[in-house]
Every structure is written in structure tokens, then in C-alpha cells.
Amino acid sequence: MINIEMALFYIIIIFSCLLRLQGIENIALGDEVYSLYIAKNPLFSSIFYDFGNPFFYFLIIKLEYLIFHFNTLGFKLTSLIFNIGAMIGLWYFLKKKFNINIANIALFLSSINLIMIYFSHEIRCYSFCMFLSPLLFYFFFQTIQKRKNVYYFIYALLGIIAINTHYYEAIFLFLNFIFGIFYLKKRKKDILKFILTNSLILLSFMPFFILVSYKGAILDKGFNSWLEDISFPLIKRQVEFIFGGIISFIFSVVFFFITLFKKTKLSKTKLFCLYFFYVIIFTLFLSIILSYIIRPMITERYFCFLIPIFIAYLSIIFASYKNKFYIGLFLIWLVSIQYGTKITDMRPMYKLENKIFDMVENNEHNYVIIRIITKSYLDISKGYENINVTTFPVNKNELQKNVQNKISEILLNDKQAIIYTTLLKPDKSNPDAKYTCYYDKKTDLCLFKITNK
């Protein structure tokens, strides 16, 4: 006899894979290029080059390149596997702690979550962070509830991997530590073991912490200077990113208090809703405090690891209220998430040409400048000396044809080309000016200057 619940599981997984394969052939852009540079760099120590990110994700892609000689597509597929793994991990957690119906709700919500889809083949650590989240909170609860040595060991191992993948994981682990201490408050022996476990995790982070401290990156407000200072619009964007919009955030808060103050004992539903909501809210709160005290360190994608946590919270809430009125509210909530999710600081998921056309169509600049870096990844660290600069008039029909031809020509000769776009206003006093790009070593930027050559 066919198991309908398991059949649904396989259908959703297949659907998710097909959905995430869209656009996987796109070229690497932005920080993905740096990941590829690390992976292909012959120096193994290059995994420690980035003072803004710990080494573990770079170690994974470095080993993949050394063993399998992956190209760009291979690394994208790795991220996709981690992304699907995050869904399966979340499904397994909810199946074990609740039931398969709640697990399948979470699986479906994960399959259509725009953030998870967006990062599904990004060659950066974010899919891996989402993959780690369900594993961490599963073994966290196994540790504090069953208190077996094997769970302490596995949680320590996962914690070491997580904290050395992205520094925001340190906030997640710290919040787990606080929650665990309160949960184990009457078990002194278990509290001591839990403290030792977390001390081991923290100790593993010290080499990276000392390295970035030595380089001055922690207190240097000029480090990652592109990050914004704390402001209300910035905080609002993070809320929209995590919760899928302000309407969803309001729903989340309201149902959190409705669930928490139900006239029942601290049920499983209450416990996990409390935990998940606590982790989300206090991660955001602590990141804001640290950005005030140390330096700006907030942007949307840093909170990717919270997405499986929010989906777990959402699934438990959805399954806890079976009244038709609540079901109607949940459908409105779900629609609000799909329409309210904001992705403002990343590249689009569609082809590069579309990005260029949108930029030209929505501004008054007369030229679009396409910077095309055709040097190999291993030469990137030496500077962008060989950059082809092409200018196009705003005429959209001409632009589309010229851009497509130019990009096709470049990619035909160098499939690993890196393409960026910049817009410049023309010099009215010099209408025949040509633009030349050069690498400025002092600022580590590609700058433009106008020449008549």
C-alpha cells in the first residue's frame, strides 16, 4: 500500500530540485568569484585569506576542487545539495519531534521559500549555513533532553563546523547556550557537561578570532565599509527578509503570544515555538547591539541561517490551529510571505543582460558601461589590469543587440569571464570622450577616467 505522506515527501523534493535548477547555468558573479578564486588557488592557506569569513566553507570547496576538479557548475550543484539537505533536515526534525504532517508542511514551505530558492546555487556559504541550522537545533534538543555523551559530542562537532563557517553562527550558538542553561537549571552535572561542550566550540573559533583581531578587522570601522550604519530602514529590511514582510512579522508576533498564553502546560508546541521565536528575535537584537558597539555588520544574507528556523516555527503554528477561521488567516499569511519577501542586496536570479536593460531603462544616464574581466581567477589577486570597457547608447533596441553580442563574444572566448556593470553620465563638454578603466592599488578599486584616445 502506498504511503501517501512519504509519496508527498518525494514529490515535494523532486519539485524543489526542478525549481532550484532554474538559472544554475548562470555565470558566477560578485563574491562567488572570490569563492572560486579561493577554491582554485594552489595555496591551501588561501582558505584563511578572507578576514570577513571563517574558513570552513572555503575548505569544503577547496577539497572539492582538489579531488573532483569541479568547474563553476559543480560548485553550484554542491550548494543546491546543501539547500535540499536543509529541507530534509528540517523535515526529519519535525517528523521526530511532532509528526510527518507538520514535517511535510515545513517541506512544502521550504520548497517555495524565495530566500532558500535564491541561495540554492550561490557559490557562497549561505546554503551550507541553512543546511547546518536543522542539524544544530535537532542535536541541541537531543543533547539537553536525552543528555547522552554521543549527543554532546555530535553537537560540539556541528558547533565547531558552524562557528567556523560564518561568524553569525556564534550568535546562534550563544543563544542555544543560554536556552540550554535555563532548560538544565536543576541538573548541575549536565550543566557542567553542557558548559564544557560550548567551551570547546568557542575554543575552536579562537584561531580565526585572533587572526582577525591581529589584522584589525574587528574594530576597524573601515572593514567591510559597504555595510550600512544602524538605522530604522536597515532594521526594517532585515525583518522583511527573515519573516517575509512586515505583515508576516505581525502575524508571527500575534500567534506567538496566542500560543504562549494558551491555558495549557508548557507543551511541546509551546516549547518549540518559544525556542524558535527566541532565536530569531534575539539574533536580530544582538546583531544590532554588536553593530552599535563594534562596527556595522548587518546585511540581509547574513540571516539566511534563520530561514529554516522561521519555517519550523511557521509549520508548528499552522498545524496547531485547525479552525476554518485560522486556516483562512494562515493562507493570507502565506501569501503575504510570498509577496513580502525582499531581496535587496543580491544579484538577480535572471540572466545578466536583463539586469543591464533594467538599469538603463530606470535611470537617466546616457551610457551603460560594461566592465568585463577576462583574466583567470588565479590572477585576480594581482589586480584587474586587463579590463575591456565598452560603452553603449541608451537606445534600448540597439543596446540589447550590442550587449548580447558582446557578452556572447566574451563568454565564447573565456567561459570564466567575470562581468560587472556600472553607469556613467557623459561629459557634455566632451561628447566624444572614451572611458578607460584602470586598477588603483591604493583603494583596491577599478576606477574610470575619461580620455580622448
Query: Mean pLDDT across the chain, nearest whole number?
Result: 78
Q: What is the pLDDT of residue 414?
A: 44
**pLDDT score, position 434:** 45
Percent helix, strand, coil in the chain (nearest 5)? 65, 10, 25
Q: Do residue 152 and residue 120 come from a single domain? A: yes
Higher pLDDT, 1 or 23: 23
438 sits in which H/E element: strand 434-440
In-domain check, residue 151:
yes
307 and 364 together in one domain:
no
Least confident of 184-188, 234-238, 402-406: 402-406
Tell whether 307 and 378 lie within a shared domain: no
Q: Which of 357, 367, 362 is nearest to 431 (CA)?
A: 367
The verdict on residue 345 lying in a domain is no
Task: Round to whole Å and give the CA distance between 156 and 201.
Answer: 6
Reference 103, options 115, 116, 93; nearest CA is 93
pLDDT in tens, 99-124: 999 999 999 999 999 999 989 988 99
- 251, 302: one domain: yes
Please count the structural domains in the chain: 2
Indicate if the pLDDT at residue 368 is higher than 60: no
Domain that holds residue 313: 4-340
Question: pLDDT tens, 31-69?
Answer: 777 788 788 888 888 888 777 789 999 999 999 999 988
Residues 313 and 366 both lie in one domain: no
- What span, in angstroms and rounded, lies between the C-alpha atoms of 83 and 453? 50
Is 346 a domain residue? no
Work out the pLDDT band at 411, boundaries 50, 70, 90. Answer: very low
User: In the listed set 276, 307, 340, which residue is the last one of a domain according to the structure?
Assistant: 340
Same structural domain, 254 and 278? yes
Q: CA–CA separation, 176 vs 92, rounded Å?
A: 20
Please name which of 149, 130, 111, 154 lies closest in space to residue 14, comparing C-alpha atoms. Answer: 111
100 shares its domain with 241: yes
Task: Looking at the structure, tell me whether residues 395 and 263 fall in a common domain.
Answer: no
**Single residue among 340, 362, 383 that ends a domain in this structure:** 340
Residue 424: per-residue pLDDT: 38
| Domain match, 117 and 187 both | yes
Asked if residue 410 is part of any domain, the answer here is yes
Model confidence at 296, in pLDDT bands (50, 70, 90)? confident
- Residues 32, 148 share a domain: yes
DSSP 351: -
Domain contains 347: no
Task: Give yes or no: residues 335 and 357 share one domain.
Answer: no
Q: Are residues 361 and 330 in the same domain?
A: no
Q: How many residues does the chain have?
A: 453
The CA–CA distances, whole Å, from 375 to 381, 410, 414 equal 11, 11, 9
269: number of CA atoms within 13 Å, CB side? Answer: 21
Q: Does 9 fall in a domain?
A: yes
Q: Is residue 39 included in any domain, yes or no? A: yes
Whether residue 299 contacts residue 342, with contact meaning beta carbons closer than 8 Å, is answered with no
Cross-strand bridge partners of residue 440: 445
Q: Which residues pair with 421 in a beta bridge?
A: 370
Last residue of a domain, one of 340, 373, 393: 340
Tens digit of pLDDT for each residue in 158-210? Answer: 999 999 999 999 999 999 999 999 999 888 999 999 999 999 999 999 988 88
